[in-house]
Homo-oligomer: A and B are copies of this chain.
């Protein structure tokens, strides 16, 4: 609950028109893309600049009002669900592309910029911003930064973190800090830049970011390799990389996913195949051609039934779009779709996919698996119905088994989605008590009143997707 006094203060900061607390608005911002997590905020505010964000945070700190910064709400771990109420902060007034600096190869943006808008703006000038989360058409850069978003090109090009040179951040006490700059090298003190990247809105609010660009690769080729068995696909992945070729993209879909995606996208995917790999390479034309010839050969040597090189950009784009549509396609089948992102070392992919199949059978649930085979980042996706509490309990148990298995194989509970509220009970699996305590120490240092996105990353209790027992 926000007191009358606090409400008036907040309104005086952002203006009446940027403070909304109608029931409709509260409902709209009560959830994100994560099924089955919902909680009403007390208000939705839209600051116009850094100064307003600073005053907002100071006021919320004074009144101990929870703050949930929110981009487009594509979060899949309930990271933008207003778990403890409070205010949801939107960045719809802070979406300028401030500068594209062609000498220093940087782009400076406000947090509300849509990822794809920024990508298009820099590509027009011949530059490349590699991180490409599947949600990039609607996600914001601010959200990408807060989640350290990954994407299909992670194997070769890394993730959001690898492209951030500097930040302007507002701390919970209202202080504004500038980190880094247009600098390839900067070791002045602790790496605050990367501490904020992936902090899921729990340490402060990013109000501006300077990102690194690279020259646009001159050519790109796409190939689809089809397999009768999973091991051959996994062996292809290993062999390509141990032959010292790092493709831009090395995506995997299992049979269940192939069938659903084909039914949705109609691009001619082989519905009888056990697995497909979508492989792309970019770079100078000579290198792309040489690498692609080698990749084709490896896939054939590893018993691919067919290896089909896209003959045109349209054909390549259709394949990419099909892969990107996996979540949407799967979501049509049953009322509730839960997409996970357990991640393992690349060498353990086949083992992990098999383990997921076993877990699926053990708990009698439906799991389709696709993901980024090249970087070990899998997306086991459960098709279920949130209204069926009994089934949901089994889903919960299946995911717990998946996380345990990922950790056992040297992996992690989340490769690119974040911990949010949903995976907070599992964080200790990955980090142990000592690691979680170290993180709690940082949280306490930055946000002693716990106003920043409370209930995220750190488990308050054992609440999982459904309350069991």
Contact = CB atoms under 8 A, between A and B. Distances in A.
A144 B104 CA distance: 26
Interface of A: 101-105, 126, 147-148, 150, 154-155, 158-159, 161-162, 171, 175-179, 181-192, 194-195, 197-199, 203, 214-216, 238, 241-242, 244-246, 283-284, 286-287, 290, 343-347, 372, 374-377, 410-419, 423, 427, 430-432, 434-439, 441-442, 444-446, 457
A162 B104 CA distance: 19
18 contacts: A103-B345, A154-B184, A158-B162, A179-B431, A181-B411, A182-B346, A184-B346, A184-B376, A184-B415, A186-B343, A187-B418, A188-B412, A188-B413, A190-B195, A190-B442, A191-B197, A192-B439, A284-B290
Contact of A192 (B162, B179, B185, B435): B435
Contact of A104 (B158, B347, B438): B347
A437 B441 CA distance: 15
Contact of A183 (B195, B245, B286, B376): B376
B445 A442 contact: yes
B105 A241 contact: yes
Given A126-B244, A216-B244, A187 B414 contact: yes
Nearest to A160: B187
Nearest to A375: B184
Contacts of A423: 188
Contacts of A346: 103-104, 182, 184
Contacts of A246: 214-215
A251 B286 CA distance: 28
Given A438-B171, A445-B445, A345 B242 contact: no
A186 B434 contact: no
A432 B182 CA distance: 17
Contacts of A444: 445
B178 A410 contact: no
Contacts of A434: 171, 175-177
